[in-house]
Amino acid sequence: MDQSRRLDLRSLLTRAEAAAPVGVVDAMAAALLELLDAREVSFLIADFSGRSLNRLGHTAASEEPGSRSEETSRRVTLEDTPYGAALAGQRSVLRREGDDTRVLAPVTSRGEAVGVLELVLPFEPDPVTLEDVELAAHQLAYMVIANRRYTDLFEWGQRTVPLSLAAEIQRRLLPASFTCEADQFTLAGWLEPAGQVGGDTFDFSLERNTLHVSMTDAMGHSVRSSLLATLVVGALRNTRRRGASLVEQAQSAHEALLAFTEREVGFVTDPRFPPSFDAWARELRAIRPVQCVAEYSPRSMLVVHGTDDDSVPDFDARVISDAHGSAEMRIIAGAGHQLRDDPRAIAVLLGWLDRERTGTELASPTRPVP
Topology of domain 2-157, CATH: Beta-Lactamase (3.30.450)
* 8-state DSSP, 195: T
Alpha helices in 101-147 (DSSP H): 127-147
DSSP H or E stretch at residue 23 = none
User: In Å, what is the CA distance from 303 to each residue of 175, 289, 354, 366?
Assistant: 42, 13, 16, 9
Q: Tell me the domain boundaries of the chain.
A: 2-157, 165-261, 285-369
Does residue 41 contact residue 167 with C-beta atoms inside 8 Å?
A: no
Does residue 169 contact residue 203 with C-beta atoms inside 8 Å?
A: no
pLDDT on residue 262: 56
Instruction: Report d(CA 246, CA 213) in Å as an integer.
Output: 11
Instruction: Report d(CA 95, CA 103) in Å as an integer.
Output: 7
> CATH homologous superfamily for 285-369?
Alpha/Beta hydrolase fold, catalytic domain (3.40.50.1820)
Candidates 97, 94, 115, 119; CA nearest to 106 is 115
Does residue 255 contact residue 261 with C-beta atoms inside 8 Å?
A: no
- pLDDT tens, the chain, 370 aa long: 566 778 888 888 898 889 999 999 999 999 999 989 999 999 999 988 788 899 988 765 555 555 445 777 788 889 899 999 999 888 999 999 999 999 999 999 988 889 999 999 999 999 999 999 999 999 999 999 999 889 988 888 888 777 778 788 888 888 888 888 888 888 888 776 555 665 688 899 988 888 999 988 877 667 777 888 888 999 999 999 999 999 999 999 988 887 776 555 555 667 778 888 888 888 888 888 888 888 888 888 999 999 888 778 888 888 888 888 888 999 998 888 888 878 899 999 999 998 888 877 665 556 566 6
What 3-state class would DSSP assign to 59? strand
